[in-house]
Structure 1
Amino acid sequence: MKKIIIYGIVFLTGVNFALAQNPKEIPLDQDWKDKITDLAPEKARFPFKNKKKVLVFSLHTGFVHWVNPHTEAMFEILGEKSGAFEVTSSSDIEMIEKDRLKEFDLLILNNTNSKPEYRNLFVDKLSEDSNLDSVEVWKKAATLEQNIINHVKKGGGLFVIHGGNTTLNNSMDFSKLIGGSFDYHPKQQAINVRLVDPNHPLVKAFPSGGFTHVDEPYFYNGAYSSLDFKPLLYFNNAEIEGQRKETEQLEGVTYVAWIRKEGKGHVLYCSPSHNGQSFENPDLLQFYLDGMQYLVGDVEVDETPIGK
């Protein structure tokens, strides 16, 4: 495997991935799983007493990310190799029922994209049931949304990956829970991701100068403007190509990952990744694992929102 050095930062990928504008789909085979297993951390960074239960929820009704099964496999590998997590992957909406959700310490929303019409994953899926009228669909969808909110407030963790922020994109309650809603993204490109605070425990996985990552640079709206979160990673807006003219943000920064406390629980939003090749970066794998430990309470860190 080739090491590509950009701006003094080492990023392990396939050949020339950091220079590619549209990384192609790669097969989810045993060779790839073995590669990720080799690159994954040998053990959890923070001490833990008990193995925690994790649900990787991958239901989607909107845009289909080819990386979804790779993301599931990646989290399963992290859990098994570290010994810190028992990971279950599912696309069954029944898993968001109150009695099912309470079985898990951590819920991961894996690119749970909804359709553009309502931007509500649960309405999309429940509408497929011909036995439910529209009133029942929306009422049930609201219940499922509240189940997630209550799960976090009562002490559960919520890890939102990439397009998972569109799960309930028009809901301000959900936007406040995760720290913002999806607005748009320009084309995939090499993004110079930087660390807000290199001394923060959750970014110790990365070089202090940051790293270069090929992905869709996400921009946000909704609750994002209140900055009710502790940012971890960011990019400089001026370095991003293809921004919409009407929302052009050539000054300042946009955050790539952040954390926030909600009730007794914790939330982590992480834009990476749209591509399975991203998981071939061992630093990113360590970041995911460290984030999982934070979300289940294995480590206490500074969560002070920058907007307050």
Structure 2
Amino acid sequence: MTFRTLIFSRTTAYRHDSIPAGIRALHRLASNSTSGLHPFTADESEDPSIFNPASLAKYRVIVLLQCSGEILDETQLDALKGFVRSGGGVVAVHCASFAMQSSEWYGRLIGGVFDNHPKPQPGRIRTLDPKHPIMTCQCSPGSGKDHAAEDLGEAQLERTWLDEWYNFKTHPRETSDGLNMLLAVDEKSYEGGVHGDDHPISWCQTFDGGRCFYTSLGHFDEAYEDDWFMGQLCGGILWAAGLV
């Protein structure tokens, strides 16, 4: 059965130039999903009034794409809480950890609160949980499929990637209990990290009745043309929906 996702990309602080590329890529995922096991549709909005119980009840997953600043008022935040507590899924991308810093609940939902980042530069990424469904999903913009990486050969566990390497106000392991770490960056491979040998950059969790997947990657347009990264966003959507 087809389910609906909401792409929400409102910003009231810094706005990433890659937001349009992210929206286009997520629409491609939705379009290509019709030939896969778990088809979904995607609506997009930057209108915070959509965060009300009746509107959110239409969706199974909300994608917080590069949101920043105080994107929701108290009533709208309560609607998001109700959505999550009713079993709704959240996929949060890059700057979403910089949103709603006034809300302790939101910070725990995302699993990390952005503090700063050094200049964009290549860094070495390590895969921490290669068998997790988010990491094994293969439903890239080009493939339209959602099958396990075992069908494609052994997963690549390390790669070099160009991005903004986020430092968090509190180490994510201390922000929210029960985070399942998926990716980490090797701070020895770039300049400006503050978390030492354990610097997670992507994770997922069950939280307050729902599921949330967060990735701090995605600063540049090119990320949204990359099958490896988009496979994780698609896997994150399916996992947040409770389907994998």
TM-score normalised by structure 2 residue count: 0.85
Render the CA deviation track for 1:11-46: whole Å, top value 9, x for unaligned.
xxxxxxxxxxxxxxxxxxxxxxxxxxxxxxxxxxxx
| Alignment-derived partner of residue 210 in structure 1 | 158
1:166 aligns with 2:105: no
Per the alignment, residue 71 of structure 1 pairs with: 22
Instruction: Determine the structure 1 residue equivalent to 2:54.
Output: 99
Task: Give the match for residue 303 of structure 1.
Answer: none
Rounded Cα–Cα distance in structure 1 between residues aligned with 2:192 and 2:209? 40
Q: Equivalents in 1 of 2:209, 2:2: separation in Å?
A: 19
Q: Post-superposition shift, 1:263? A: 3.3
Q: Is the 8 A contact 1:180 1:220 kept in 2?
A: yes
CA RMSD after TM alignment: 1.7
Helix, strand or coil at the partner of 1:168: coil
Name the residue aligned to 2:42: 87
**4+ runs deviating over 6 angstroms:** none
Q: Does residue 233 of the first structure (1) align with residue 183 of the second (2)?
A: yes
The aligned amino acid for 2:182 is L
Q: Which has the larger radius of gyration?
A: 1
8 Å contact from structure 1 (residues 175, 222) kept in 2: no
Cross-structure match for 1:179: 111
Which consecutive residues of structure 2, in runs of 5 or more, have no partner in the other structure?
138-148, 150-154
Pairwise CA distance, 1:222? 4.5
Deviations 1:180-225 (A, max 9, x none): 2111111101121111122223212583322221110011124724
Distance in 1 separating the partners of 2:234 and 2:59: 17
One-letter code aligned to 1:81: N
Residue of structure 1 equivalent to 2:152: none
Higher relative contact order (CA 8 A, sep 6+): 2
5+ residue gaps in structure 1? Answer: 1-49, 115-119, 123-140, 300-308
SS of the counterpart of 1:190?
strand
C-alpha displacement of 1:149: 1.9
Identity %: 24
User: Does structure 1 residue 142 correspond to structure 2 residue 74?
Assistant: yes
Instruction: Please say if residues 48 and 71 of structure 2, whose CA atoms lie closer than 8 Å, have aligned partners that are also in contact.
Output: no
Scaled by the length of structure 1, what TM-score is found? 0.68
Alignment check: 8 A CA contact 1:54 1:107 kept: yes
Residue 88 of structure 1 aligns to a residue whose secondary structure is: strand
1:275 corresponds, among 194, 207, 220, to 220
What is the DSSP-based 3-state SS (H/G/I as helix, E as strand, rest coil) of the residue aligned with 1:121? coil
1:294 and 1:166 map into 2 onto residues whose CA distance is 23
